[in-house]
Every structure is written in structure tokens, then in C-alpha cells.
Structure 1
Amino acid sequence: MKKYIFLIVLFLGIVFEGFAQNTVSGVVTNYESEPLVGVTVVIDGTLTGVTTDADGRYSLDVNQNDVLVFSFVGMITQKVVYKGQKEINVNMISDNYNLDDVVVVGYGTSKRSDLTGSVSSVKVNDLKNTKVGLLGNALQGMASGVQVTQTNLKPGGSVSVVIRGKGSVNAGNGPLVIIDGVPGGFDQIATADIESIEILKDASAASIYGNRGSNGVILITSKKGVAGKTKVSFTAQGGVMNMVNKMDMMSAQQYYDLINSEGIEYTWKRDELLQLSRGETTDWQAAISEQGKFQNYNASVSGGSEKSSNYLGLDYYDMDGIIKNSNYNRITLRFNNDSKLNDWAHMGFRLNVLESKIKNINEETHELYGTIFSAVSAQPTAPIYGSDGEYFDGFLNTKANPVAMVDLLDKSTKVTHITGSFFVEFTPVKHLSIKTNNAATLHFAITDIYENPRMGQHYATEGVANITSSKSRYWQSENTITYDNKFGDHKIKAMVGVSASKSEAESSFAQAKGVDSVTKYYNLGGGSEFGPNSSSASASTLTSTYMRANYNYKDRYLATFTMRADGSSRFAPGHRWGYFPSLALAWRITEEDFMKSADYIDNLKLRVSAGMLGNQNIGNYLYQALVSEGGQHFNYVLNGVLYTGAAYSSIGNTNLTWEKSKQLDIALDYGFFGNRVAGSIDYYYKQSTDLLWNVTLPLESGYQSSYTNVGVLENKGIEFSLNTININKYNFQWTSTLNFTYNRNEVIELYDGKTDYNKQIFVGHSLNEFYMLESDGIWQLEEAAEAAVYGALPGDRKIVDNYEDNQINSDDRVFCGQSNPSYYGGLTNTFKYKDFDLVVFVTYAGGYKVRNSLLRFTNSYNTKGNSSVDYYNNYWRADRPSNKYPAPRIGSSYLNGDGTDAILEDGTYARIKNLELGYTLPKRWTKLLKATSLRAYFSVQNVYTFTKYTGYDIEASAQSNPYPGSRAFIGGISINF
């Protein structure tokens, strides 16, 4: 009997085991393993659930095979089946297309689901893909339609940001950058202080900024404190940088052999012969370069109560470049405060203080004087120091010793930038808010230069020092009233506002000669000769009114109308006001009843927008006739006294007004399978008219130029973005983000109908398309008679006679390719396994040509300087009739390829921009430090570039004196308390 009772009890235990409740607990974290507060954890199909606490922990009673659903705003919802685990820890993945995300738009915010315009959001974590660069670099490859290029690779170098193609010739193509409501620049905020970045790309999104929005708008919002536990964060990163793509130049012996074997007339200097006798070669690139260093530290404290919250951040950034004595350092202090005065009013304060210093190398555009060009072309037989112990100064095609330039040129720019803003927002009645936001900016900059006479023949025989100082002030006042209400199925949100701003700038320049190397620019009065000295001042104002109305019916049909009127003092009286309307419509197809059965489709929204934007990005007073003073044409000597005259430099234009941009956008947003596959597809059309064009005038007019409104420029293209969650199970996650942009740029109309040869702009072609002579290999011995017709010899570069008149001149030029990429984008793959994470970030561009200025030296000997080893091995000789490089001759036309397509190369590239491996310490370890999270990582920047380009760096190819590219090895740590 006992045996049967035991079996019955055992059977019942097995049967009811699945109904016995157990307690499961765990921690929910974000990608960086930081705890997430307020994550909802519920049992699927029930109302039973909890939320995570301040440490991201939860505890819940569950049954066997229950499905736990983890959800959080901005994160992909995750489901986990309970199989008896004691602990279930979940790492949430960001939902880049979460429809409930709040997106910052001009003068307000909006839910992503309510957007009708084209707005791209860049997540804070994505900004970390670029460690060494500043904010501008971090945006590269992050959003479709946004082309970011680091045009200067020096420490603190600038970036070019173009949204949806270049739409202007003389009025700039960079977007309007707004930081916490105040116009600014990428270098004016630390990346670690950024909360969010929104990029407004179409007319509907950007027209609220009217006259400044034609090139797009980038809205940057800084971090602020959150009520609750005080959060302390600290990050530190540092590493080294090495030059990549160093030019492989001839050795001293190869240089000597080339000159002697080709019978080139050259008188060897004693110091060169001594170096040759010792078998030594001067590697000028190595002589001016070194291993670069980088470090960046950021500390922040944030927190507060429901009444008041604060954020305090301190950031220090320092980089020593790979070229000696090039450096950039910056310290940034940010303080943000938000206070709730009562139930219907709150206020906030923003303060950002920045102090920076950049130490530059010689970047003169003339290749004979630039540091990099000099290092590439200087003869390898020349020593760094002569037998007299001084810097060697007997160069053939460069006017200064490259090492002397990096050792002795003292050139630095110091900047102090202060921005403060204060806002108060009232809600006197329900649904109505009134906000006033007032801001001011002070910017001080001073550039000190001292040219030591020991630098070389290009420089004065006595020291020259100069100081350029500038000061600018900016203030603005913006005041808005917003009404937001819902009536049944109808939602209405309307905003009206007025703004006023003023910019003032002052600058001065002073120079002295005969200054010694000790006092330099600190005592200009100690010089023997002074001037030219100058000073200037200017001011401009902008007054605006604007409004925006949003209508939403059943979260299904959306409409946005925007209107802005701007009055700018930069334009002629009677032409100062511009009006910029836009209209956008959207249809959320997934909200229709017939879509309810398609449960795998989470989001399908059709958007259409059209409108007009403006551009006022020119100098002040250009509608007036301007006078230039001084210069060799205006100096006269009478009775031994120097008199300086003045003359008109530009003619006035009393009709000068806005540059206008008409834009159309048709788009589809999509999301499938719980937004595991999401993105958007946009077609855009942008036509710029009344271009602000600085037209060069004939000399007989008596004027140099005149600004006028002429010409039409067109951009049209397709944008595609895709975010996917490829794998999310077994403690392994793999997500991908891809964006692609195709853009076609075309000049439709110019002031004379067809061309502007001065700017190389032609109707029917893309902006700045290459228009050059066409090379066709090398003249061979059997072509001697034909070559003679053109005054050439066998071994000279062959230029195509397209005009067929038996002579080579400008009439033979042809279009050789566009200078702007026709497509570009970025790809990010992120892998995470337990506490390890790996990021692989790739950028790419193609469909264009680049001008490699270095080829003038490396692929010929026409300039008497050094050439590449490849040239030495493949130049034309009678006994080696190469068709690759011309013979080493001096003075023969087009030998170095200048003015021909021989200096053009394919610009297509794909670059592994960042490869980063990180490890997050488990909670049991971070608890010992009283920390909430701690992550360490190792990153390699600019891992490899797939390209046919042979210069230093494909992105800086447009530079006439390019700073070499580098590969960086960075280690870092971030800890949160």
C-alpha cells in the first residue's frame, strides 16, 4: 500500500510541477551594459508585471513556459521563455525607428510617428564610431543624404558637410548648425555632452529656418540632468597615430643616376656630394613626421529632483599630429540647468565655455612653399643640415627646408568661445504654452605667426611676425506660442513665433619685420619695419516671423504647413524680405483597417513634401560698391613720400536678394517583423535659383567683381536607409545599419548662358566638373614627326588635339569627370556576445574623380625635384619606350601633367573607418567599485581603405598641400556611478 501511495504522490508532483510558481529575477541593461530604469517586464497575455528599479533589476513570480516580455521606449521589445532559469538578464537593443521616440524639430519636438518631413536621427552611441576626430567626423556615414568629408586631416582640421548635394556656388554649401537653439559649429561642443542629433533634410523639416535652411539644418541637443539618483560618468581614451600611404620616393643614388644618365644639366652642391659619398638618403617625409598622440578625457555629473536638475560636463581633448609641431587641444565646460518654478512654469539655463589652441604647419596653397609638398619634392641628395651647421637651403623646386619649416615656423590660433542661453516656458492654460529663449555668444580668436629667417630662401632675411585678432558677438531672442490639443479623432498642434538677432564682428592685423626670435610677436614694436596694418568691423541683423501647423486625423492622415518670413540687412533695401512656405502630407498606411491582418508590417508611411528655402550666407554690405585700399596698384611715390590710394573693388547691386531653393520630397518609411527590419526610401528634387554669384568683371569696367542673383543649379537623388536586427538569441546579438545616397548635380543656367571659365562651371554639367586637356600616353620614336607638329619630342606626354588644328591650347579641353561623388554612404555592423562587443564601421563613396596634386612631382621630373620610385622604374627612355611616364626633361609642356587629366584619379573608395572591440565588466565586479557599469575597449581607426587613389588620403585629395592620413590605435575606458 505504501508503494502505491508513493507512486501516486510522485505522479501528482510531476503533473503539478508545471503549475508551481517560481521567482525569476535579473538585470536589464542597454547596449553598453548600463542599467535601464523603468523597463516593463510582463508575462505575455496577462497584466502581471513589474518595472525595473534604479539598478535595472526586477523580480517576478512565473510559471514554467511563461513568456516574459521586456519593453522600453526606444528599444526593441524582447521575449524570453521561462524554462526554470534562476536569473534572466536582458540586454536591450535600440529601436532606431521607434515610432514613439520624441524627435527634436525646429522650435519644438514631435513623435517620430507624427513626422511628415525628412528627418534623420543620429544616436549618441553611433557618434562613438570616430574616436580621434571631432563631432563633424563622427557624423560621417551616419545618415543618408549627408555627405561628410574631412577635407583637412591636420589636428583640429575642418570637415565638409553637404546635405542632398551642393546647391550654391558662392554662398556656401554647409548646413545650418543649431546647438541648443543657438547657431554654432561642430567644434563648439564636446561629443560626450550630446544627447541627440537631428538632421532636417527636406523643405518641410527645414523651412522653419527660412533664409538659412536651404543647405539643411542639423539640430544638436546637449544632455541635461534627470530627476533621481545622481549619475557620475568618466571616460578616458588615448593612443597613437602613424602615417599611412607614405610616398615611395627615389633614393639619393637613384636621383643621382637619373640626372647623370639622362644628361640633365645640374651643378651638384658640395653638401650633396658629401652625402652621396656616404651613401646616405634624406627621407624628407620621415624627417618632418613623427608618431602622433591622442588623448581625450570627459567627466560629467548629472541629477536632481523634480524641482530642479543639473548637468555638468568637463571635456579635455588633445592631439599631436603625425607632422611635427602640429597640435590641437581644447577644453570644454558645459553646465545645463532645468528648474520647475510651479505647475505651469519652468525655466532653463545653458552655458558652454570653450578654450582651444591649434598649432599649424605651413599650409600655403602654393606648392613651392607648403610643408608637405616640399617634403615630397625636395631632392633626396640634400642634407637636412649643411656643413656649416645651418639648415640646408640649396633646393631646386622648393623654396624652404621642410625640416626648418616644422622646427622654426611658429604659427598658432587661440580661440575662446562662450555661449549662454536662458529660456522660460509658461503654460497659463491647458494646451497652450508660451516660451521665450534668449541667447548670446562671444567669440575671440587670435592668430600669431613668426617666420624665422633661417627657414629658407622664400622667407625674409629678417624675422617677420604678425598678429591677427578678431572678436565677434551674437545675440538672439526667440519667442513662441504653441497650442497642442486633441478633439476626438483630430489632433492639432500650432506654433507661431518671432525672432530677432544681431551679429557684430571686429578684426585687426598688425605686422612687423626685423623681429628677433625671442620676442617674436610678443613685441611687434621692437621691429625695424611695420605694416601693412589693417582693421575692420561689420554688423548684420535678421528679423523673422514664423509659424507651423500640424494636423493629425486618427494617427492616419497627417499634414504640416510651415511659413517663415525673414528680413536680412545683408541685402539691398527693398529686397531684404524673403518668404519661405512649405507643405507636407503623410499617410500612415499601417493604421488602415485593411492592413490589420498584415501583422508582420509594423510601419508603412508615405510622405510627400514641397516648399521653398533660402540662403543668405554671404558677407555684409555686398549690395554696395566696395572700396579697396592699398596694394601695389594704389601706391604712389611723390617727392620721396609713399601715398596710398583707394579704388572701387566691386560694383554695387541695388537688387541683390535671397538665393532660393525649391524642394520636393517623396518618401516611404517602413518597418517589418517588430521593426527588426526598418528604414526609409526618399526621392528628392532640389532646384536653387537666383544664385548669389560673385561675377568677375572685365578689366575695362574698372571693377573687379560684382555680386548678383543669376543661375540655376539642380540636385536630385535617392536616399535609402536600412536597420536590421539579424540575430538576437543565445546571448548573441548582431545588428546592421546601412545607408546609401545617389545624387545627380547639374548646372541648368548661368548668367551668360553657358560657362564661367574662372570657376570652371558649365551649363549641362555638374558643379566644378573637371574640364582639362586629355592625355594619351607618351610620344614614341616612331611618332617623332607627328610629335614635332606640336613642338614635342619622343618621350614627352602626348596631349589629344581634340580641336584638330595641329596645336594644343585651351580649345582642346574636354570634360574629364565630375568632382563630387555620385553615391556615398555608410555601413555599421555591431556584434555582442555576453559581455563582449565588436563594431565594424565602413564608409564609402564613388562615381567621381579627384585631383591628386602630388602627381605633378611624383610622376615626372619636370620640376627638378624628387620623383617616385615607380617613375624611376617606368619613365620613357629610348631603350625602354614606356608609355606610362614621360622622359625626365625640364621645361617641356605638360610633362608633369598639370592642366591635364594625367593628375586625375578615380575617387571611388570603401574605408574600414573603425574596428572596435569592447568588454563590459560583469555586475559582480563593478559592485566592488560601487559602479553601475564599466567598459574597456580597443579601437583601430582608418583600418584600411580600398581605393585606386595613390595620394596620402582620398578625403583630403582636394587640398593643394595635403596633410597625410593616419591610422590610430586607441584604448579607452568608461565608468558610470
Structure 2
Amino acid sequence: MEIFCTSSSSVLRRIHNEKKQLAKLILIAPFLFGTSAYAIDSNGLNATNTTITQQKSRTITGTVVDKDGEPIIGANIIVKGTSNGTITDINGAYTLEVPDNAVIQISYIGYLSQEIPVKGQNSIKIHLIEDTQSLDEVVVVGYGTQKKGEVASAISSVKSDNFVKVPTTDAAQLIRGQVAGLNVVTPDANPVGGSQITLRGAGTLISSATPLVLIDGVPGDLNTVSPDAIEQIDILKDGSAAAIYGTRGTNGVILITTKSARGEMPTEVDVNAYVATQQITKKLPFFDAAGYRQLVEQGKAGAQDEGASTDWLDEVMQTPLTQIYNITLRGGSKNTNYVASFEYRGIEGIMKRTKNQMYYPRVEITHRMFNDKLKLNANLSGYKQTYFAGSDDDNGFNKEVYRNAITYNPTTPVRDAEGNWSESPAKTDYLNPVALVEEVEGENQAMNLRMHASASFTPIEGLEIKYLVSSNNYYQTRGYYETTKHIASYKNGRTGFASRGTKRKVDDMSELTASYRKTLKDHTFNILAGYSWMRTNWQFYWMQNFNFPSDDYTFNGMGTGQALKDGRANEFSEQKENKLIGYFGRFNYSYKGKYMFAASIRHEGSSKFGANHKWGNFPSVSGAWSIKDESFLEDSKLISQLKVRAGYGITGTEPGDPYMSLNTLDFGTYVYYNGGFIKTTRPGSNPNPDLRWEKKKETNVGLDFGFLQDRITGSVDYYNRKTEDLLWNYSVPTPPFLYNSMTANGGSIRNTGVEVSVTVVPVQTRDWQWITSMNYSTNKSKLLSLSSDQYVSNDYSDQGWLPEPMQMASHRIQVGEPIGNFYGYKSIDIDENGHWIIEGADGKPKPIEEQVPEDKKIIGNGLPKHFLNWNNTVRYKNFDFTVTMRGAFGFDILNSAKLQFGSPIMLTRGNIFNTAYDKVYGKVPLADDQGLQYVSYYVEKGDYWKIDNLTLGYTFNFNKWLKSLRVYGTISNLATITGYSGIDPEVGIGGLTPGIDDKSRYPAARTYTLGVSVKF
């Protein structure tokens, strides 16, 4: 009997390879892994399971071939519901003993899987049909979706199955290391902190570099939605893909699609739960109590034995316990679907009193009516967040706690003999870290409520008219209090200090789109037109007060403080609003799936722009050629995919403040008049009617490929992006201007780079699968100009600020140079007395005491030139094992902790590194009187390679009501290979001052997770 398999599904398109040698390797692979349930006979490989059935059985034979009749080698054939199976040999043949009533399952990567009843047959020939779903796979693009095979721009897509399994507060860490060019950095383990994201380098100077984030088409943030609710994340990387979003698309676009229910389906329940704990990855080499006492014995200046032995870092750290629970309910009928979920995330940090609690509720309902011509969707979601406020800001962690924990004298007791906190008020910036934790009360509470609804009408086939309305509301209230026993109360001569504040941000959006898709023989057209309106309202106020009669009411008794009544405390409030309106359209064309063309335009206006530049145009064009579908490659068994892409697009960036272009008023000045002070009104800034958007012009050329039945797939992209009309703060003359500074457009910067992604399936058998993927990216930036025809600036600008006693800039941006350069003195030696010798402006050595500003040089760069990520997934039967690794190379780090605490002179301010008296350059230690200097000795190579995430899981398959149960364990930030001597080389890479390892940073941590996932 001959059977043609035409149903079921797969997730990858695989074209059969007739290369015999590769096939033999595939067949032998199970034995390399020690699969003892198979045996080889003289006819090749008959992998017969040794399990003997007790039922009446028969032996069936046959072959498995593709559509051209070519044998498929290594196809899996298994008796449904058992482990009894085999794989086809090099001729595509198989032999298998089965029960008379058996159903056999046939599968092979790249083909549609099938189930066939035996029904008394002795010979079954099977034709497998290629799975083309890889090219038909849907990716999300601006205002719609496209088949992957039709995409002509640089777009990357990551499904939830491939997310990094790690407890996280934002969605960025789910795709860390999986998208070439998208660099996700987690500079510390603060549970309230977030990820830093850069896409294709630094393309702005003072504007935000964060990509636009849209969740189901509605603007949001990376922590807006629960990571467990995300189905897919798509990244629009180049200008041709992002231009449809106009002034918001310069930094790229991240499109998040949440999980939903589609069509008629029984009720499903998913339960996910996991617990995690952390430990610090590395401690800096400070003197312990015994070592410190040796310094006292040596008579070192500043060393003083106070009789105790205290591990201050241990005093302020904890063993955290993170708990995350998620339940999702989804189902529906032919016409109505629903999704409801609730999640609790309680993420604790390794520092005491650092905990982030979040609750994520979500309800979504979709209803179809009038024979599916009308689809209605309503979604209500958001989160509630609560975390400890250890300082008077949003960070949730007081950096002074960690810094003082590593520098406080280890012989000082936590409390003195009278039970009071041990303090040294005379010392600058020297505070008892335990008291900093215990003598404060603070809480930040935030709530995000997202409401959006849409109606889609399809009056005729191919035409969809959609109206979307949304409101995204964020509210935050924070309170902070320092008790009367807090060191600040003593130093500032006050009794208690309180701060209270609130934020409110509302984004209202309304969008109307119409799309029409039509296929005429070999021609496919897709036309999109739309209108978008968005309003953002921001409100903020805060107040401070001190001198309270009691600590009992903390920040909840603001009115009981005296300072506000005396006019000595601060208060502030403001409200801002801006609007953004856009008209946009896109045209897509495909001929036979071989030649693809796309063009888009967005005409957009913003209230942030000056009167002379309210509107702008943002066009794009892209095209692709599927060479594989040409006649000369159509029958190739070696090449399974080959497509060339090219695109060009213009995007923009809005100014940050909505009122930079306008006349503003300042009410903060007082004058003495007629015997008293009165408040005056005056202009608050220089208006700029010519203020406009930054304009990025980007060209992208790419190649998508697949070889050996798609066992090897990947892409290569080259981009060249130039950002013009950079927003910058210029010095202007007074008069004619009222103030000597103005924000205006001028200057340009260029970024070029290459991105390569490769995925290989080295092993694919019935029991074994190994998928390995690697991606690489490199970026080179160059500041082309800082001036324009109207506004002239110096060719350089110093950025960043190192704290006292150095008090100087850390970086310099300069025309002709890349962003991220460290700028300081180049140390080349040390003299016999332990003082630095630097290289002067003339290139000759000179003592550090003779330094002049002209001696400063570029001494490193804080932005990595190369990023490399390597991800591996191995599956054996029900076991799965994943390891993700990533690295950054070609960059430097300013080790600010070593700069300050690796110098003997800092012993007068507290504890120091136990390496502070080591020889420098192999000669002599630094002198006790050598002051802190910003020299290149403290700028270290930052190259690193991380074993970032390791996960081992096992899936149990049960009956119909309990579909599966997966148990897994994960270790995150497992190991780091680096020559950097600080805590962790993964430091901040954003802004104009990248690469600084903050001496007060929240420490890096290793996370251990145990989780369970149940599907009912």
C-alpha cells in the first residue's frame, strides 16, 4: 500500500538531503550518545526497540520518500503511545514489529508529521510532504503581520519556546543573546533595576536611546507585561522596517505579542511556579579585621583598631528567596475566545530590604460575528508594584549602603557600648551601613492600568478595517523617612527628614487602519493606510520636610514637620502634555514569491517641535530576491533558502521635553520692593521655533540562507546609518538671547556594522535533537560633527564627572572619534617614591605633579566593538538541556572601585584593598601620600565570556486532563571568564559615559531557580 501524508504540522521547513555521508553521520549519532536500545544489521541501520509487546503483532516494512521519490534517511517511525520505534536506513527503508491495531507515527524535521493506522497491512510506502511553514511563519511588522518568506527588511523574531529561562523583571532578559545587534546588559542584581538595551550602536547624544516598545500594538515598557504572558517578541532593526513609526522608530522597535486563544478550543489551564535564590558572584579584595590590624601595627596613617571584628558586607546582605506563580486560563467557542491570567512575582535581592513585589492581572476577550466579518477584542491588564525605598529616589536601593559596607573599618563594632550606632561624623562620606538600612522607612507603590479595545471589519475578502483605542495609565506614590537616629539628622542638625512624591503618566491613543491583500495569479499585493493620534500627559509633584516631633508617623505625617512652615524645605510640582499625530501608508508587492518590494511613508506632526517644523516625512523602501526559487536553484538539494534583501529608511527622534521650542515663564525669582520681597515673572528659557526631530537615514543589505535541508540556516546584515540634526545643548551669545544655552539641532553621527546569525541542527533523531545557534555583531560609531550652519560648537565635549577628590570629567566625545572614549592621563611608570609618571602632551614622561589639562589623552573606550552569543539546546526523549553563553570584546572598563580603594591614601577614609600595597608595574607600591589620580592604570580590558544560563528540565506526559508536567532547574550568571579585576565586567553601555564600573554599584549575583510548569 502506498500512502501520501498530507496533514498535521511542524515548525520548521526542511528539504531532504541526499548526501549519503551526512545521512550516515545522522544515523550514527544516537550511538555516539550511548543509545543502547538500537542495533545495526548488515543491511544498514535497523534501529529496533528491544521492548517486546504482549499483544498479537506483525512485522511491517516499507520506505519513506519525499515528493520526488527520493528516500528520506533517518525518518522516525514509532508506534503511537509506546517507545517502540525505528528509523529509516540510507535507502529510506524500515522494518518494524507492531501490534495489529497499531497506529504508527512518522516524523522527520522539515516535513509534516503523520499518523497512519496499520489495519492489517504488511507493507506501507510513505510520501512525506515538505513543511513550508518556516517561510509561511508569521512575523509581526508595523501595523500588521507578514509571512517570513515575504520580509524584505531586517526583522528578528523570538518565540516563547526559545526565551531565556530566568526570573526577571523585564522582557529584555528573555531574549538576551538571541538577536544579533540587540545588546541587553544587566549591570547589577538590583531587583528593581532594569536592563540596558542598545540596538546598532549609539545614534544620539542627549535623546533617549531606548527602542520603542509596543505590546499588542499599544505603547508600553519592557516591564509592563508579565514575561510569562509573552508569546513572541519581534524586533524591527533597520530603518526600512521602523520608518512606519516615524519619530519614534530611530532606536528600533520591539513588538511584544501576548499569548491568546484562537478558534474553537477546550478550556486549557497553564500553571507556572518557580522559586529562586541568589548569591554574590564576587567580593572585592578588602582587608578583613586581621589584615587591617596589621596596618594598625605598622602605624599606617588612618588605621585605627576599635576592638571588634565585623564583616560589614555580611551585615547588610541576605539569602534571598524569590517566588513567582502564574496561572493562565484560556479557551473558547467558534465565535468567542478568552484569556485570563494572574501572576505574582516576589523578587528579593541579596542586599537586605531589597524586594520587588509585582502582581499582573490580565483579561482578554475576542468575539467574532456576522460570519467572522466583524471581530471585537477587549483587553484589560497591568500591574501593581511595591518595593522598599532605601533612598529618596526611584531606585529602591541606597548605593551608600554597599559602598560603606566595603569601606567601613572592619574592627569597628556595629553598635558601641551604649547600644548606639557606631559612627564617625567627622569623616566625609563615611557612614555606618547597617544604620543606613535600619534607620530609614520607605515604600514605593506603583500601578499600571492598560485598557485597549479594537474592532476589525472585513466587508470583502482581503480587506480589513481596524479601529484601536487604548489608554495606558501609570501611577506612582513614594515615601521616604530618615529617623532622628539617622546620621543625616545629626550632621544636618535636624530631627527626622521626610519626602513624599507622586507621578502620573497617561498615554491615550486612537488608531484607524485599513489593509487590503489580493493575489492575482503570480502577483500578490498588500496595501495599508492608517491614521494615528496619541496624547501623553505627565504630572509630578514632591515635597520634603524635616524637624518632626516624633518618628511615629514617618512620611505619613508630612504636616507635622516644622521646616515647610518655616520656608526651609523644598516642594515642587509640574504637568506636561504633548500630542503626536501621524498619517501613514505602506505598499507590498510579491511576484511568485521570488521578487518582493515594499515602500512606506509616514507624515507625522508633534507638538514638541518648533513652529517652523511641526511636520515631517519618514519614507522607506525595501526589496528582496528569493534566488532559491529561480529555475537554476529550484531543484538544488544543497541550498534550501537563499534570499537577498536591501532596504533604506528614514526615522526620527523627538526632543525629550515638550516645551523646548516655546516661551516658558519662571516664577522662582524674588526682588526686594517697597519694604518686602515679591516674586517676579520672567522668561524661563530661550524659545527655539526651529526645533525639529533628529533624522536617521539607514541603509541595510542582508542575506538569508539555508543549506543541507535547512540543517544550517542564518542571515548576514550590513548596515550604514547616519543620524543628522542631532539635538545638542549649544552655547549662544547674550544678547541677543536671554540665556547662554539653547537646545537646538546640529551635528551628525555615523554607525556602521555587521550582524551574522547561524543556526545548525547537528543531530536530529527520534530520541535526540541538538540545536545550536550563534550570532555575532560589530558596530563602529563616529561623531561627524557637533555644529550646524546656525549653531557652532567646539569639536569636543567632556562628559561624566568623577567624584571628589578628583572632580573631573571621565569621557570626551570628539569629532572624528567614536562615542565612549575615556579621557584622562596616560600612566606609563612609577618613580622610586611611588608617584605616578605620565605621558605628557609631547609624548615624553613627566611626573604626575606637573600635569596640565593638555596632557590628557584618550585612554580607552567603554563600548564593546564585538558581541558574540552562543546558544545550545539538547533534547533526549523527555529531557531538555539548554546552555546560553555570551561575550563582549574590544572594550575597556574604568575600575572606579580600584581607583579609589586601591590607593593607600584612602586608608584615612576607611578600609582599602588588600592589594593597595602591591608593587605597581613590578617596581614599588603607591606612596602613602600619592593622591587619587584618573590615570590609565585603572582603565582595564573588559573582554568577557559568560556561561549565562544553564537549564535542565524533564517533561512528564500524562492523560487527557493533565497534558504535561515539566520540572526544571536553572543557574543564571553561572561563570564569567575575564581578565577584569572588578566584580563583574558587565557594566553600563548606555549614554555618553559607557564602561564605568560604579564603586557603589549593587553587586552582581548568581541565581539558582527551580521551576514547574503544568498544562491541564
TM-score by length of 1: 0.85
User: Which residue does the alignment assign to 1:387?
Assistant: 417
- Quote the Cα distance in structure 1 between the aligned partners of 2:591 and 2:8: 40
- Show the 5 A alignment for 1:438-837: 438-457=469-488, 461-515=494-548, 516-530=550-564, 531-627=569-665, 630=668, 634=669, 650-695=685-730, 703=739, 705-729=741-765, 731-751=767-787, 752=793, 754-758=795-799, 760-780=812-832, 794-803=833-842, 807-837=850-880
- Quote the Cα distance in structure 2 between the aligned partners of 1:29 and 1:764: 51
Question: Could you list the runs of 5+ residues in structure 2 that have no partner in the other structure?
Answer: 13-56, 68-72, 78-87, 89-93, 111-130, 788-792, 801-811, 989-995
Residue 423 of structure 1 pairs with residue 454 of structure 2:
yes
Which range is displaced more, 78-87 or 940-949? 78-87
Are the structure 2 counterparts of residues 85 and 180 from structure 1 closer, same or farther at C-alpha, using a change threshold of 3 Å? farther
Shift of 1:904: 1.8
Residue identity opposite 1:725 in structure 2: V
Residue identity opposite 1:508 in structure 2: Y
User: Which residue does the alignment assign to 1:40?
Assistant: none
User: Which residue does the alignment assign to 2:1005?
Assistant: 966
User: Which residue does the alignment assign to 1:284?
Assistant: 312
Shift of 1:597: 3.2
Deviations 1:204-254 (A, max 9, x none): 111110111011000011111132121110010002111111112112343
- Quote the Cα distance in structure 1 between the aligned partners of 2:295 and 2:926: 13
Are the structure 2 counterparts of residues 332 and 697 from structure 1 closer, same or farther at C-alpha, using a change threshold of 3 Å? farther
Are the structure 2 counterparts of residues 635 and 358 from structure 1 closer, same or farther at C-alpha, using a change threshold of 3 Å? farther
- Show the 5 A alignment for 1:76-87: 80=77, 81=88, 82-86=94-98
User: Which residue does the alignment assign to 1:871?
Assistant: 915
CA contact (8 A) 1:65 1:83 kept: yes
User: Which residue does the alignment assign to 1:236?
Assistant: 273
Are the structure 2 counterparts of residues 696 and 285 from structure 1 closer, same or farther at C-alpha, using a change threshold of 3 Å? farther
- Quote the Cα distance in structure 2 between the aligned partners of 1:157 and 1:828: 25
- Quote the Cα distance in structure 1 between the aligned partners of 2:292 and 2:133: 60
Aligned mate of 1:67, from 64, 68, 71: 64
Residue 858 of structure 1 pairs with residue 889 of structure 2:
no
Residue 896 of structure 1 pairs with residue 932 of structure 2:
yes
- Show the 5 A alignment for 1:86-485: 86=98, 98-226=134-262, 227-258=264-295, 261=298, 263-264=300-301, 268=304, 272-273=305-306, 275=307, 280-343=308-371, 344-362=373-391, 370-394=400-424, 396-457=427-488, 461-485=494-518
Are the structure 2 counterparts of residues 583 and 85 from structure 1 closer, same or farther at C-alpha, using a change threshold of 3 Å? farther
Residue identity opposite 1:762 in structure 2: Q
- Quote the Cα distance in structure 2 between the aligned partners of 1:208 and 1:330: 34
- Quote the Cα distance in structure 2 between the aligned partners of 1:525 and 1:69: 81
CA contact (8 A) 1:447 1:468 kept: yes
Deviations 1:723-756 (A, max 9, x none): 1111012511111111110110111111225111
CA contact (8 A) 2:201 2:781 kept: yes
Residue identity opposite 2:703 in structure 1: L
Residue identity opposite 2:533 in structure 1: A
Shift of 1:852: 2.0
SS of equivalent residue, structure 2 residue 431: coil
Shift of 1:517: 2.3
Are the structure 2 counterparts of residues 902 and 735 from structure 1 closer, same or farther at C-alpha, using a change threshold of 3 Å? same
Shift of 1:168: 0.4
Residue identity opposite 2:726 in structure 1: L
Are the structure 2 counterparts of residues 297 and 346 from structure 1 closer, same or farther at C-alpha, using a change threshold of 3 Å? same
Are the structure 2 counterparts of residues 231 and 128 from structure 1 closer, same or farther at C-alpha, using a change threshold of 3 Å? farther
- Quote the Cα distance in structure 1 between the aligned partners of 2:589 and 2:342: 42
Are the structure 2 counterparts of residues 872 and 676 from structure 1 closer, same or farther at C-alpha, using a change threshold of 3 Å? same
Deviations 1:317-364 (A, max 9, x none): 111110001110101011122111112211111211210122244499
Which range is displaced more, 767-776 or 863-872? 863-872
TM-score by length of 2: 0.82
Shift of 1:870: 3.9
CA contact (8 A) 2:241 2:649 kept: no
Shift of 1:79: 5.2
User: Which residue does the alignment assign to 2:884?
Assistant: 841
- Quote the Cα distance in structure 2 between the aligned partners of 1:113 and 1:361: 51
SS of equivalent residue, structure 1 residue 389: coil
CA contact (8 A) 1:203 1:609 kept: yes
Which range is displaced more, 654-663 or 410-419? 410-419
Residue identity opposite 2:560 in structure 1: G
SS of equivalent residue, structure 1 residue 594: coil
CA contact (8 A) 1:690 1:712 kept: yes
- Quote the Cα distance in structure 2 between the aligned partners of 1:577 and 1:378: 57
Are the structure 2 counterparts of residues 376 and 575 from structure 1 closer, same or farther at C-alpha, using a change threshold of 3 Å? same
SS of equivalent residue, structure 1 residue 816: strand
- Quote the Cα distance in structure 1 between the aligned partners of 2:732 and 2:484: 39
Residue identity opposite 1:240 in structure 2: T
Paired positions, count: 885
- Quote the Cα distance in structure 1 between the aligned partners of 2:675 and 2:834: 55
- Quote the Cα distance in structure 2 between the aligned partners of 1:92 and 1:311: 33
SS of equivalent residue, structure 2 residue 223: helix
- Quote the Cα distance in structure 2 between the aligned partners of 1:906 and 1:676: 37
Residue identity opposite 1:64 in structure 2: T
RMSD between superposed Cα atoms in Å: 3.1
Shift of 1:838: 0.7
Residue identity opposite 1:723 in structure 2: T
SS of equivalent residue, structure 1 residue 840: strand
CA contact (8 A) 1:368 1:374 kept: no
- Quote the Cα distance in structure 1 between the aligned partners of 2:537 and 2:673: 39
Are the structure 2 counterparts of residues 233 and 627 from structure 1 closer, same or farther at C-alpha, using a change threshold of 3 Å? same
Deviations 1:522-554 (A, max 9, x none): 110111111311110110001100000001111
Are the structure 2 counterparts of residues 363 and 525 from structure 1 closer, same or farther at C-alpha, using a change threshold of 3 Å? closer
- Quote the Cα distance in structure 2 between the aligned partners of 1:725 and 1:951: 38
Residue identity opposite 2:1015 in structure 1: N
Which range is displaced more, 317-326 or 861-870? 861-870
- Quote the Cα distance in structure 2 between the aligned partners of 1:875 and 1:389: 42
Which range is displaced more, 353-362 or 546-555? 353-362
User: Which residue does the alignment assign to 2:926?
Assistant: 886
CA contact (8 A) 1:136 1:159 kept: yes
CA contact (8 A) 1:467 1:510 kept: yes
SS of equivalent residue, structure 1 residue 454: coil
- Quote the Cα distance in structure 1 between the aligned partners of 2:58 and 2:515: 46
SS of equivalent residue, structure 1 residue 405: helix
Deviations 1:286-312 (A, max 9, x none): 111111221111100111111011111
- Quote the Cα distance in structure 1 between the aligned partners of 2:496 and 2:133: 60
Which range is displaced more, 484-493 or 112-121? 484-493
